[in-house]
Chains A and B, each alone.
Chain A
Amino acid sequence: MIDFDCEMLYSLTERENLTLKVESELFALYNFIKENFELKVTLDDPKFSAEFKIGLLNQLLPDYSEITRSLANQLIESGKASQLYKLSHAFSLLVAQKKQCLLGEMVCAHPATAAQLQAAETILTKKLGKKVRLKIRLDPDILGGLVIKILQGNIIDLSLANKLVQLRDQISAAV
């Protein structure tokens, strides 16, 4: 079902030349819902009407494309808001396959600039021998630095949190 939806979605986004934007928006939406527990509970709660949930989500997604909004609304109306991760993941995989590229995310504790994102993509493209497209995700828990997660691939943890963990392990071993 999701595969079929993804194919349709891909055709639609390609026609509008919005594939990468929609893929990023779906990914961001999934993370947004995941990180906002109250929103997640509200979207999963059958006591709230679909209209209310759609209104709430539209308020939260002012700059999102019409395709992403419409897709999110459909999921909410059909009571499948919890399927958003599967859809986002499946669509990312499909896009990566169709575009012959690797998709991933660059996790930062502080918003990275477009130039930094571009630099990371360039390095990874050069190293992995395939076009790499990254999305930025904020996670204050990494404290600083970067974590690169390639979809269905490596996780490169260059964060300050990871360095602290390594330091902690060294202290544990040394004392």
Chain B
Amino acid sequence: MFEIETSLIFWSAISFAILLLLLNKFLLPPLLLMMEERKNRIQKDLQDAAQAKNQAAEKLSASRQKLAEANARAEKIVAESTTAAEQQKEQIIGKAESNAQKIILQSQAKIENDVQKAKLALQMDLAQLVSDASRKVIKKTLTDTDHAKLIAESLAELEHHL
């Protein structure tokens, strides 16, 4: 029922060998070439990727450095601005204090001056009042004899005046 046909096996082997020869002759070389090319392309892509990675890393590093520099510069600017603002603030406060002091001194001087003036005016008014009162009293009370005496005194004074 089951019998082996040697001829068929033989011819099948021959056909398979021929097929292998044909494949080896015509199909394998381009396949190997294609695979080699693909391998090369993949290697190149890998190299490119590595290079790109390196470049990206460099760029990242540079960016980080620039960012750090920018931060440092910004901090410096902020610090300088703060210092300048502080100085300006101190200057403004100093000037304001100086002006306030000046105004206080001027006001004190003016008050003192006004007080002096008022005192002087009062003294002069008082003296004028005394003088006016004396004039009135003298005018009313001087007699002819007093006048004669005053003239005589004036003549005596005239002797020593010139």
Residues of A within 8 A of B (CB): 108-110, 112-113, 116, 119-120, 123-124, 127-128, 140, 143-146, 148, 154, 156, 158-161, 164-165, 167-169, 171-173, 175
Would you call B130 and A124 a contact (CB within 8 A)? no
Interface positions, chain B 95-132, Cβ under 8 Å from A, are 120, 123-124, 126-128, 130-131
Are B123's CB and A124's CB within 8 A? no
Please report the C-alpha to C-alpha distance between residue A123 and residue B161 in the assembled complex, in whole angstroms. 10
Nearest A residue to B153 by beta-carbon distance? A145
Considering the complex, which residues of chain B in the window 125-153 have a beta carbon less than 8 Å from any beta carbon of chain A?
126-128, 130-131, 134-135, 138-139, 142, 144, 146-148, 150-153
Q: Are the C-beta atoms of A123 and B144 separated by less than 8 Å?
A: no
Interface size class on chain B is: 20 to 34
- Asked if A127 and B123 sit within 8 Å, CB to CB, the answer is no
Closest 7 CB pairs of A and B: A110-B147, A127-B162, A144-B150, A171-B127, A146-B154, A158-B154, A168-B131
Given contacts A109-B147, A167-B131, A171-B130, is CB(A143)–CB(B138) below 8 Å?
Answer: yes
Least distance between A156 CB and chain B CB atoms (Å): 6
CB distance from A20 to the nearest CB of B (A): 22
User: Which chain A residue lies CB-closest to B161?
Assistant: A156
* Contacting residues, chain A, for B139 (C-beta < 8 A): 140, 143
In the assembled complex, the Cα of A128 lies from the Cα of B158 at a distance in Å of 12
| Closest chain B residue, CB of each to CB of A173 | B123
Given contact pairs A144-B146, A148-B158, A172-B123, A161 touches B151 in the complex (Cβ within 8 A)? no
Q: Is B158 within 8 A of A120, CB to CB?
A: yes
| A158→B157 CA distance, assembly (Å) | 8
* Cα-based distance from A26 to B155 in the complex (angstroms): 26
With both chains docked as a complex, state the minimum distance between the C-beta of B85 and any C-beta of chain A, in angstroms.
Answer: 58
Is residue B3 contacting chain A, with contact meaning CB distance below 8 A?
no
Q: Which of B127, B146, B153, B161 contacts A169 (CB 8 A)?
A: B127
Residues of A within 8 A of B5 (CB): none
How far apart are the CA atoms of A123 and B154 in the complex, in Å? 12
Q: List 15 A-B contacts (CB under 8 A).
A: A108-B147, A108-B151, A110-B144, A123-B159, A127-B162, A146-B155, A156-B158, A158-B158, A159-B154, A160-B150, A168-B128, A169-B127, A171-B123, A172-B123, A175-B123
Cα-based distance from A140 to B122 in the complex (angstroms): 28
Q: How far is the CB of B75 from chain A (nearest CB, A)?
A: 72
Flag if B158 contacts A168 (CB, 8 Å).
Answer: no
Distance in Å from the Cβ of A141 to the closest Cβ of chain B?
9
Contact partner of B155 (CB less than 8 A), chosen from A123, A164, A165, is A123
Q: Return chain A residues, CB-CB under 8 Å to B134.
A: 164, 167
A101 and B78 alpha carbons, distance in the complex (Å): 98
| Residue among A159, A171, A173 having the largest count of chain B Cβ atoms under 10 Å | A171
